[in-house]
Amino acid sequence: MNNLLKNSIWILVAALGAAAVGGIALNRGESINTLWFITAALCVYAIAYRFYAVWIAATVLAVDETRATPAERLDNGRDFVPTNKWIVFGHHFAAIAGPGPLVGPTLAAQFGYLPGTLWILFGAVLGGCVQDMVTLFLSTRRDAKSLGQMARDELGALGGTAALIGTFAIMIILIAVLGLVVVNAMKHSPWATATVSATIPIAMIVGLYMRSFRPGQVLEASALGVVLLLLSVAGGGLIDHSETLRVWFDHDGLTLAWWVMAYGFAAAIMPVWLLLAPRDYLSTYIKLGTITLLAVTIIMLQPTVKMPALTQFIDGTGPIFGGTLFPFVFITIACGAISGFHALIASGTTPKLLSNERDIRMIGYGGMLLESFVAIMAMMAATVLDPGVFFAINSPAGVVGKEAVDAVAKISSWGFPVTVDQMRLLANQMGEATLFARTGGAPSLAVGMASIFGSAFGESMLALWYHFAIMFEAIFILTTLDAGTRVGRFMLQDMLGNIWPKLGETSWTPSVVLTSALVVAGWGYFLYIGVIDPNGGVNILWPLFGIANQMLAAIALCVATGILVKSDKIEYAWVTGLPLVWLVTITSSAAWEKIASDNVRIGFFAAADDLAEKLAAGVLPPEKAAVAPQLIFNQHLDGWLTLFFVTLLWLIVFDMLRVCSRYLAGKPVLPLAESPHIPSCLVEDWVRD
């Protein structure tokens, strides 16, 4: 009887989920309520978590709850510590969820709400969650080794090197594109610039508080910091209203880009306790708080989605980025569906805390489900805006024209009516001079969040909500930026240490300064080009980031598939093999289009040739002609970089296939590096408080 009841509940969930997904997919022409999206997401997640994840954990991976985890065996009271599963979940989620799932879906909304939503849902349950969970399991079985180390141990030197280079490359591109998102949100916005700048001294106050004034009192210091941050949002408004002060914070994109680079360099050489660690505390609280608030208000208000299911831009003519629906929606939304970067957290970091293998499903699979839900909410915040407004905020000036009149005429001609007055009123409500051409996702998400929060808590605070949302995104973008620069510095020092050991010493100041400067120069270059590009660098940088991130995911899935085959589980190898095939397909086709397309908005080389021709013919306006040589060089560089990523991807796929076929033919391969079975003797009540 009990069983029958349980089964019928799950059948009901499945039917409800299918109805909601069907409702979203088949709805045409009529506006659709966000409740449909939430229902579809929750049902799909519940079914996947209850059945697919359980099956993978029990049958494919065969998790063993009697087996001691590295946290138990290597417990040192510091980094290896058996920890309550909810705490591990919190750490893991805070580590994996950055600004990616907020930006990607917002950009992909140019195709309409449907493609992005379906990819976020099904990409996550079949790809991203599987990758995170399997990687977490494999690393747990290998003394919490990193992805690169596992690739080296299981596949060979090629795999290990590819993982290392992939990680370094993705870090550079990621920081550049995130820097660009912040710059676009701050340019000529004294309020946003003042608020975001204020987060730096606030983080330092918090750092000093918990280091010197009250050592180790993390919560006290964080509470102080959160209060100061909220005050800084209001304080930014006061600065914006003061004629004398606002000019201090009113800058164009390029100036802000130089400041972001200077900040990144300073943060990488400063001690972590002063800036990085306290900023991270603040960003984690603000992030978790805001995401919860957004979920609650969306569920309470159930706003209507105004974006159509599909727009005409699926043909590749979209204003935000060029490229057809396939493969570009899959490249644009990486975080939220499948993100290779997670494999770096799921290996090395999280396994050191895991007290029992049985929690792998909840932390690995469940953590990614929650991130996927964040991406769904970002999609909703973007699509509840009037489509005309959405495109006006996100279309770069190079595509729709610099003047407001031209931009609204162009956007309205696409069938998304918007007027200058409407945009002026909106900018006014948000406390901004203009909202046109703020490409990158942060401002349109902030407008979406502000209007959702505004209708819940009163319209009078729209400007405050808008700048709160900008601060919320900027603060953890900057955390990713300085944490990433730091990691890049360590990796570079590690690599250079092979050439000259002295450079590998992480405490030798000349080496620290040199390697930090090199890493900042790396991403600073792409940021600089992105800012001077009149078509908005997002069009170039975001696809490059997507390709790099999916390449890293493919490396993780290669390692997993290789290990499954070597563990005589070839009949289950499709669990990671199919997502791998899909990733290789989309990454390769996107890379191919970026390299070979003769459409100047897609192909890097085509764009370079086009610009060179125009420059030679003298038809470019002077300000564009001045930067054209740099843009041409950059397009070539991006083209070669894409080729490099896709070559690396194929190398590691072939390396994995080589290892698998050798194993299946009975030839010697590197042995499984799994650590031996030691029975767990943790007293559960003690550890699982």
Question: What is the total count of residues that contact another protein (CB under 8 A)?
Answer: 54
Instruction: Please answer whether residues 101 and 335 qualify as being in contact, where contact means their C-beta atoms are separated by less than 8 angstroms.
Output: yes
Nearer to another protein, 90 or 534 (CB): 90
483 binds another protein (CB under 8 A): yes
618 binds another protein (CB under 8 A): no
User: Distance (Å, rounded) from C-alpha 597 to C-alpha 587?
Assistant: 15
The β-bridge partners of 679 are: 67
> Quick one: which segment of 133-141, 318-326, 335-343, 673-681 binds another protein (CB under 8 A)?
335-343
281 binds another protein (CB under 8 A): yes
Classified as helix, coil or strand, 83 is strand
Classified as helix, coil or strand, 409 is helix
335 binds another protein (CB under 8 A): yes
Residues in the chain: 689
272 binds another protein (CB under 8 A): yes
> Quick one: which segment of 27-35, 64-72, 84-92, 659-667 binds another protein (CB under 8 A)?
84-92
Nearer to another protein, 337 or 464 (CB): 337
Rounded to a whole number of angstroms, the minimum distance from the CB of residue 515 to another protein is 15
Q: First CA to last CA across the chain, in angstroms?
A: 33
Classified as helix, coil or strand, 193 is helix
Rounded to a whole number of angstroms, the minimum distance from the CB of residue 452 to another protein is 24
12-71 binders of another protein (CB under 8 A): none
Q: Which two tokens stand for residue 259?
A: 């400041």
User: Distance (Å, rounded) from C-alpha 420 to C-alpha 436?
Assistant: 10
User: Distance (Å, rounded) from C-alpha 249 to C-alpha 240?
Assistant: 9
User: Distance (Å, rounded) from C-alpha 255 to C-alpha 275?
Assistant: 22
277 binds another protein (CB under 8 A): yes
Rounded to a whole number of angstroms, the minimum distance from the CB of residue 682 to another protein is 13
Nearer to another protein, 185 or 404 (CB): 185
Helix-then-strand count for the chain, H and E: 31, 2
Instruction: Please answer whether residues 593 and 601 qualify as being in contact, where contact means their C-beta atoms are separated by less than 8 angstroms.
Output: no
Closest CA to 273 of 434, 486, 70: 486
Q: Which two tokens stand for residue 265?
A: 């360099």
Classified as helix, coil or strand, 676 is coil
Binding mask 153-172 for another protein (x = CB under 8 A): --------------x-----
> Quick one: which segment of 198-206, 277-285, 421-429, 510-518 binds another protein (CB under 8 A)?
277-285
Give the residue, chosen from 339, 485, 539, 561, that forms a contact with another protein under the rule CB under 8 A.
Answer: 339
Sign of the Cα torsion 78, 80, 84, 86 reads: positive
84 binds another protein (CB under 8 A): yes
Give the residue, chosen from 78, 499, 679, 683, that forms a contact with another protein under the rule CB under 8 A.
Answer: 78
Classified as helix, coil or strand, 354 is strand
Classified as helix, coil or strand, 325 is helix
Binding mask 187-216 for another protein (x = CB under 8 A): -----------------------xx---xx
> Quick one: which segment of 62-70, 257-265, 403-411, 484-492 binds another protein (CB under 8 A)?
484-492
Rounded to a whole number of angstroms, the minimum distance from the CB of residue 613 to another protein is 36
Give the residue, chosen from 107, 109, 174, 531, that forms a contact with another protein under the rule CB under 8 A.
Answer: 174
Helix 190-208 vs helix 462-497: crossing angle, to nearest 10 = 60
Instruction: Please answer whether residues 278 and 204 qualify as being in contact, where contact means their C-beta atoms are separated by less than 8 angstroms.
Output: yes
Closest CA to 228 of 260, 256, 252, 195: 195
497 binds another protein (CB under 8 A): no
Q: List CB contacts of 25: < 8 A, sequence separation 6 or more.
A: 114, 118, 309
Rounded to a whole number of angstroms, the minimum distance from the CB of residue 135 to another protein is 13
Give the residue, chosen from 15, 219, 664, 678, that forms a contact with another protein under the rule CB under 8 A.
Answer: 219
79 binds another protein (CB under 8 A): yes
222-261 binders of another protein (CB under 8 A): 222
CB atoms within 10 A of CB 201: 12
Nearer to another protein, 258 or 273 (CB): 273
131 binds another protein (CB under 8 A): no
87 binds another protein (CB under 8 A): yes
490 binds another protein (CB under 8 A): yes
CB environment 82-110: b (16+ within 10 A), e (fewer): bbebeebbbbbbbbbbbbbbbbbbbbbbb
Instruction: Please answer whether residues 516 and 268 qualify as being in contact, where contact means their C-beta atoms are separated by less than 8 angstroms.
Output: yes
507-566 binders of another protein (CB under 8 A): 549
635-674 binders of another protein (CB under 8 A): none
Instruction: Please answer whether residues 540 and 638 qualify as being in contact, where contact means their C-beta atoms are separated by less than 8 angstroms.
Output: yes
> Quick one: which segment of 303-311, 333-341, 413-421, 609-617 binds another protein (CB under 8 A)?
333-341
355-384 binders of another protein (CB under 8 A): none
Nearer to another protein, 277 or 557 (CB): 277
User: Distance (Å, rounded) from C-alpha 433 to C-alpha 206?
Assistant: 32
Amino acid letter, 63: V
493 binds another protein (CB under 8 A): no
For residue 512, what is the DSSP state?
A: H
348 binds another protein (CB under 8 A): yes
Rounded to a whole number of angstroms, the minimum distance from the CB of residue 567 to another protein is 26
> Quick one: which segment of 1-9, 73-81, 113-121, 399-407 binds another protein (CB under 8 A)?
73-81
Closest CA to 494 of 262, 168, 173: 168
Nearer to another protein, 257 or 343 (CB): 343
Give the residue, chosen from 67, 85, 91, 141, that forms a contact with another protein under the rule CB under 8 A.
Answer: 91
Nearer to another protein, 218 or 651 (CB): 218
Rounded to a whole number of angstroms, the minimum distance from the CB of residue 283 to another protein is 9
Rounded to a whole number of angstroms, the minimum distance from the CB of residue 436 to another protein is 27
User: What is each CA distance from 398 to 17, 315, 403, 413, 648, in whole angstroms?
Assistant: 42, 20, 11, 17, 33
Rounded to a whole number of angstroms, the minimum distance from the CB of residue 198 to another protein is 21
> Quick one: which segment of 133-141, 272-280, 521-529, 621-629 binds another protein (CB under 8 A)?
272-280
> DSSP string covering 556-580, please?
HHHHHHHHHHHTT-GGGTHHHHHHH
Amino acid letter, 98: G
Give the residues lining the site for another protein (CB under 8 A): 75-79, 81, 83-84, 86-87, 90-91, 95-100, 167, 174, 178, 210-211, 215-219, 222, 271-273, 276-277, 280-281, 334-335, 339, 341-342, 344-345, 348-349, 479-480, 483-484, 486-487, 490, 549, 689
